[in-house]
Structure 1
Amino acid sequence: MLSIFDRGAPPPAPAPFNLAHHVLTSGAPEPDKIALAILDLSRAERWSYARLEQAVRGTATGLLDAGLAPGDRVLMRLGNDVSFPIAYLGAIAAGLVPVPTSALLTEGETARILSDLAPRAILRAEGVACPTTDIPTFSSADMTRWRDLPPAAYHMGDPDRLAYIVYTSGTSGAPRAVCHAHRAIWARRMMIDGWYGLGPSDRLLHAGAFNWTFTLGTGLMDPWTMGATALIPAPGVRHDQLALLMKRHEATIFAAAPGVYRNLLKSTLPPMPKLRHGLSAGEKLSPAIRSRWTEATGTEIHEAYGMSECSTFISQAPDAPSPPETLGRPQPGRRVAILGPDGPVPRGEPGEIAVHQSDPGMMLRYHDQPEETAQRFRDGWFLTGDRGIMGDGDTITYLGRGDDMMNAGGVRVSPIEVESALSRFPGITEIGATDIEVKDGVRVIAAFYTGPEPLDPEALARFAEAHLARYKQPRLYIHLDTLPKNPNGKLLRRDLARHYRPPSS
């Protein structure tokens, strides 16, 4: 039996279609129902569905009144507040193409995006890095004012047309701009039962910041699509305060990266009687964290696997238990395979995890990179670069990356990008970067370098801070006499980790 999961495709997205319209109207909640609550220990800022839709459609009017037209790209340089999802949906409602980016990117990293995409406008919050440019730039004050403008009509059209662009690290070292269609939100319906177990009465608390794509999708767009309530911690809320917020605000589902669960479990958790289960994605969940969470809360954590090009498509689910050491099963409606050089391998044999290019959540392309786009597809399958095994029960076990990509707190980072930035530091002859496990379930980026003598780690850290977003910066700098290489002189990044010696050894 071959390693293929194919149980039928979902119905196509209706036409005409608009992603923002689908998010804000498909759940059909009461206008006064709370769509969003932003929580801290002393208060909650609440947004009803009516207020949220007014802000989104008012923002669409503001963008159009500023001279933008459907199809124009809009770069988002915004912080961790409600402006982020409102601007994102407002742009899409108007038929524009938002490009959400991490607020942690440096000015230099942002300049490369400007050169790559040539956006027609920039939405920028105070204090978020962005180079000086002649591109029209709108402030937080502008965006706040737009919310009360007369609502624009949703720009309806072909569900296959471009809706938004997100950036992901590329194996070449240059971040890739992933272009997604409006239909991508339609495909996320397969996660509702295949991962979340989400319904209109749920209150989903996501631990991430507004300006993280994991939060944007799982924490906001999907609950709103179902007419549920999204709960987001306010800036400054610590991980050890999240459990109390879940209890006070009766969260029924909790979503977070594995590192957040790890931090929560450092303290004694209060009873959370309304909580049904947790969700985890971004990096592999440690079995120890999973078992400790279940022991502490009496609930399970359901894990999911995916990537920027297709979001999540393999997951565990409340009504579809799978062995905890596996990623879970392909979600109903997905077509997934484990591939070898000649196509799908027999069940039980390792290969590369692939999802079919017909998936409605599949990206349209990498922006302006036709060759790289073509390289990721083979015989109708999108190649993830991750290796796995499919068992007889359709469960998939993760075997790790097939390349050298690193995982920094749930975000994939190219080692070449880190190496290129740090190679300019005086005193470094050669450098190699990889992620290493420093304790159970904790991985950090480490830079291994050669040079005449060991360098000051603090000086290296300051240099990295000036040239790389925080999540790309190494946490360890290790001097070696030589870097491991193959007979042809190619760096063996996977061998770097064996040169790490924990402080206690």
Structure 2
Amino acid sequence: MTTSEVLAWWAERFPDRIAHTVIAPDGTESDITYGAWHRASLAVAAGLARQGVTAGSHVGLAFTRGQTQDFAASLVATHRLGAAAVLLPADDDTAARHTIEALTPLQCLVATEHEAPSGRRWPPGLPVLDAGDLRTGPGAHPPAAAPEGTATALVVFTSGTTGTPKGVAIAYADLMARAPRTAAGVDTHPASGSVHLNAFQPSTAAGQWVALAPLLLGVRMITAAELTPASLVGTVRRHGVHEISMVPAMAALLSGIAPEEAAHTGTVERITMGTARCPAPVLERVARLFPQATIRIEYAGTESGFAGTGCTWHPGLAPDAVGRPNAGTRVRITDDLGHPLPPGRTGRVELSPPQGIPQRHYEGDPEATAHTFRGSWVRMADIGHLDDEGCLHLVGRAQDFVNVSGRKVACADVERAVERHPGVREAAAFARPDAMLGEEVAVAVTAGEGADPEEIRRFAARELPAHAAPAHVLLLDDLPRTRNGKIRKELLPALLDGARGPAGSAETVEERLARIVSGALGVPRVDHDRSLLELGATSLQMLRVYFALVEELAADFDVGLLFLGDSLTLIARDIAAATDHRS
């Protein structure tokens, strides 16, 4: 069974039923019915066939959230021909170029070209097709392929151990594993008819699942090109949303909404939280906003797919807990040699998918595949332990990876990019905790006389995808090393914190607040008599101030204090009173 077959079943029986609702940046909405989706996929498939796409071909797809109609039609069309859809970031030229260069040549690439960023540099000779033109082209019924279950249906990119992008190949049988055994069974699925809201990019594993969920589960999926707290609440009210999938950053933004503003959102039954750890105070506020909803914490990876863990969040849940194995999944902790460790021992997390699901692999990279995919086990980039009840607790990331809001960044990628700067001699990238993103990238460098850390940071940002660009650059005379010359990365976070200025107990809350605000705004100093709004802080910058101050004070306070318009002095006084710190 393929996605094309299931869509044909829906289109025949429920042609006018809405599968997707897309909300444009200006707030206008457009619905995609199963019938229209099917017709568009046939037209795109016909266009791809004319381009020479057949079973086994690789077709690049580059779309943003606001282009769900084109993405969904192109994805199903690719599967109709038995080809593999290669998901590429549409909003990041650097990442798109790197991923294309790392893969076997594509047959062609499909995008919504009139909305693509200017200056895109597709490889010379690569045919780039406009999805809108294909979707509205002449009607046709191209032949439907019947690919083997082990054939590659999707390639989703992630960073690998060698510092180059690696395409995780997902087989047709893997992709369709959640579908009922017969096409007719999808309309009787427990989730059928429910309304889901998401904010994942199509180039991610979660993004492709969002596109296909209406086929495999019978749900109606709402995708917003841009999602703010106010628009999220408004969408829930208008459409009676039953389930929301979000990342911790969105949850943090929601925590600034007053409960009365979230009235009439009782239709929400479930909130799924993934990609990074979410602070307990933020989860508590989300629970108050959606009192009827169950909050689900989920852990998995692009490499592991269905293999993962999950748990229902509740006050008092250990902050590092990510739950027990999903149905059919096995979890174990191993040492450096791959030997299983008993409960309570910390080591590398490994996951095994349910039986019958083909093992994933890195496309065209057998060496990296052998390192990560070991028999039926997938070696994750996380360090953790199992408790006596079988719950997985994540301790941190394996060395040389940084987890930025669920996206793995290879430190080698960052180091090579920084070292391309003409003034840099050596670079060592490392992770720094960030309460909103999980972790952020930092880099320590040795450089020539007169080197400017901010200029180096801007240089690296031009060389790397946005999520991999370093947030901090630490300039050192030499990097800390062991006797045999290896860099001691475990010492770098403390050196960075020391270089950022004093944060000891003698510093008052007001002084800490002013220091953090000046750092968030990128200015040398701020006027304590002005409010954050007067200083020009955005909502995102206010959240960064909140998370940084909570971390330093080791105590929580109401994030709403930052949005009231009071001066920094008054805000510091209220925070000091709420946290029992010296003002």
User: Which category of TM-score, normalised to the shorter sequence, fits these structures?
Assistant: 0.7 to 0.9
Please give the secondary structure, in 2, of the residue aligned with 1:416: helix
- CA-CA distance at 1:240 after TM superposition: 4.3
Q: What does 1:431-442 correspond to in 2, within 5 Å? A: 431-439=427-435
Which stretch of structure 1 is more off in the superposition, 27-36 or 70-79?
27-36
Does the 8 Å contact 2:88/2:203 carry over to 1? yes
Superimposed CA distance per residue, residues 421-469 of structure 1 (whole angstroms, 9 cap, x where no aligned partner)? 1111122121122221245665321222122346445533442343211
Please give the secondary structure, in 1, of the residue aligned with 2:153: strand
Kindly tell me: are residues 313 and 291 of structure 1, through their superposed partners in 2, closer, same or farther at Cα, counting changes over 3 Å? Answer: farther
Which whole-Å CA distance do the structure 1 matches of 2:161 and 2:33 have between them? 42
The reply on whether 1:21 has 2:5 as its aligned counterpart is yes
Q: What does 1:347-366 correspond to in 2, within 5 Å? A: 347-356=343-352, 359-361=355-357, 363-366=359-362
Residue in 2 that maps onto 1:478: 474
Does the 8 Å contact 2:434/2:440 carry over to 1? yes
Instruction: State which of 55, 65, 74 in structure 1 corresponds to 2:50.
Output: 65
Does the 8 Å contact 1:179/1:363 carry over to 2? no
Q: What does 1:301-450 correspond to in 2, within 5 Å? A: 301-316=295-310, 323=317, 325=319, 326-340=321-335, 341=337, 343-356=339-352, 359-361=355-357, 363-378=359-374, 380-439=376-435, 443-450=439-446
- CA-CA distance at 1:333 after TM superposition: 1.8
Which whole-Å CA distance do the structure 2 matches of 1:355 and 1:66 have between them? 40
Which whole-Å CA distance do the structure 2 matches of 1:27 and 1:324 have between them? 46
Residue in 1 that maps onto 2:560: none
Please give the secondary structure, in 1, of the residue aligned with 2:307: strand
- CA-CA distance at 1:322 after TM superposition: 11
Which whole-Å CA distance do the structure 1 matches of 2:239 and 2:35 have between them? 21
Which stretch of structure 1 is more off in the superposition, 449-458 or 130-139?
449-458
Which whole-Å CA distance do the structure 2 matches of 1:336 and 1:400 have between them? 16
Does the 8 Å contact 2:102/2:164 carry over to 1? no
Residue in 1 that maps onto 2:563: none
2:33 maps to amino acid:
S
Q: What does 1:95-244 correspond to in 2, within 5 Å? A: 95-107=82-94, 110=97, 113-114=100-101, 116-126=103-113, 127-128=116-117, 129-146=120-137, 149-188=139-178, 199-217=191-209, 219-233=210-224, 235-244=225-234
Please give the secondary structure, in 1, of the residue aligned with 2:444: strand
- CA-CA distance at 1:236 after TM superposition: 3.8
Residue in 1 that maps onto 2:465: 469
- CA-CA distance at 1:37 after TM superposition: 0.6
- CA-CA distance at 1:121 after TM superposition: 1.0
Kindly tell me: are residues 445 and 188 of structure 1, through their superposed partners in 2, closer, same or farther at Cα, counting changes over 3 Å? Answer: farther
Instruction: State which of 268, 282, 294 in structure 2 corresponds to 1:289.
Output: 282
Which stretch of structure 1 is more off in the superposition, 135-144 or 457-466?
457-466
Kindly tell me: are residues 455 and 121 of structure 1, through their superposed partners in 2, closer, same or farther at Cα, counting changes over 3 Å? Answer: same
Which whole-Å CA distance do the structure 1 matches of 2:163 and 2:53 have between them? 32
Which stretch of structure 1 is more off in the superposition, 422-431 or 316-325?
316-325
Which whole-Å CA distance do the structure 1 matches of 2:196 and 2:438 have between them? 26
Does the 8 Å contact 1:19/1:163 carry over to 2? no
Which whole-Å CA distance do the structure 1 matches of 2:158 and 2:344 have between them? 31
Residue in 2 that maps onto 1:487: 483
Which whole-Å CA distance do the structure 2 matches of 1:180 and 1:322 have between them? 37
- CA-CA distance at 1:327 after TM superposition: 0.7
Which whole-Å CA distance do the structure 2 matches of 1:25 and 1:457 have between them? 58
Residue in 1 that maps onto 2:73: 86
Does the 8 Å contact 1:316/1:327 carry over to 2? yes
The root-mean-square deviation of aligned C-alpha atoms, in Å, is 3.0
1:85 maps to amino acid:
A
Which whole-Å CA distance do the structure 2 matches of 1:322 and 1:185 have between them? 36
Residue in 2 that maps onto 1:194: none
Which whole-Å CA distance do the structure 2 matches of 1:320 and 1:161 have between them? 41
Higher RCO (CA-CA < 8 Å; seq separation 6+): 1
- CA-CA distance at 1:252 after TM superposition: 0.7
Instruction: State which of 270, 283, 288 in structure 2 corresponds to 1:277.
Output: 270
Superimposed CA distance per residue, residues 348-381 of structure 1 (whole angstroms, 9 cap, x where no aligned partner)? 3333222236755554421222122112244542
Which whole-Å CA distance do the structure 2 matches of 1:143 and 1:458 have between them? 45
Residue in 2 that maps onto 1:37: 21
Kindly tell me: are residues 119 and 452 of structure 1, through their superposed partners in 2, closer, same or farther at Cα, counting changes over 3 Å? Answer: same
What number of residue pairs does the alignment pair up?
480
Kindly tell me: are residues 347 and 198 of structure 1, through their superposed partners in 2, closer, same or farther at Cα, counting changes over 3 Å? Answer: farther
- CA-CA distance at 1:141 after TM superposition: 4.0
Structure 2: runs of 5+ lacking an equivalent: 181-188, 504-583
Which whole-Å CA distance do the structure 1 matches of 2:287 and 2:344 have between them? 29
Larger Rg: 2
- CA-CA distance at 1:406 after TM superposition: 0.6
Which whole-Å CA distance do the structure 1 matches of 2:273 and 2:313 have between them? 16
Instruction: State which of 41, 47, 56 in structure 1 corresponds to 2:41.
Output: 56
2:397 maps to amino acid:
R
Scaled by the length of structure 1, the TM-score of the pair is 0.86
Residue in 1 that maps onto 2:509: none
Which whole-Å CA distance do the structure 1 matches of 2:252 and 2:130 have between them? 37
Does the 8 Å contact 1:304/1:313 carry over to 2? no
Instruction: State which of 246, 249, 252 in structure 1 corresponds to 2:239.
Output: 249
Which stretch of structure 1 is more off in the superposition, 168-177 or 237-246?
237-246
Kindly tell me: are residues 115 and 334 of structure 1, through their superposed partners in 2, closer, same or farther at Cα, counting changes over 3 Å? Answer: closer
- CA-CA distance at 1:228 after TM superposition: 0.9
Superimposed CA distance per residue, residues 208-267 of structure 1 (whole angstroms, 9 cap, x where no aligned partner)? 3344432321x332343111100111x344344212222222111000111111122223
Which stretch of structure 1 is more off in the superposition, 354-363 or 203-212?
354-363
Scaled by the length of structure 2, the TM-score of the pair is 0.75
Which whole-Å CA distance do the structure 1 matches of 2:211 and 2:99 have between them? 29
Kindly tell me: are residues 415 and 64 of structure 1, through their superposed partners in 2, closer, same or farther at Cα, counting changes over 3 Å? Answer: same
Structure 1: runs of 5+ lacking an equivalent: 1-16, 191-196
Which whole-Å CA distance do the structure 1 matches of 2:306 and 2:277 have between them? 13
2:484 maps to amino acid:
N
Which whole-Å CA distance do the structure 1 matches of 2:215 and 2:48 have between them? 23
- CA-CA distance at 1:337 after TM superposition: 2.3
* Higher relative helix content: 2
Question: Structure 1 vs Structure 2: percent identity of aligned residues?
Answer: 21
Which whole-Å CA distance do the structure 1 matches of 2:179 and 2:311 have between them? 14
Which whole-Å CA distance do the structure 2 matches of 1:137 and 1:481 have between them? 48
Please give the secondary structure, in 1, of the residue aligned with 2:221: strand
Does the 8 Å contact 2:350/2:377 carry over to 1? yes
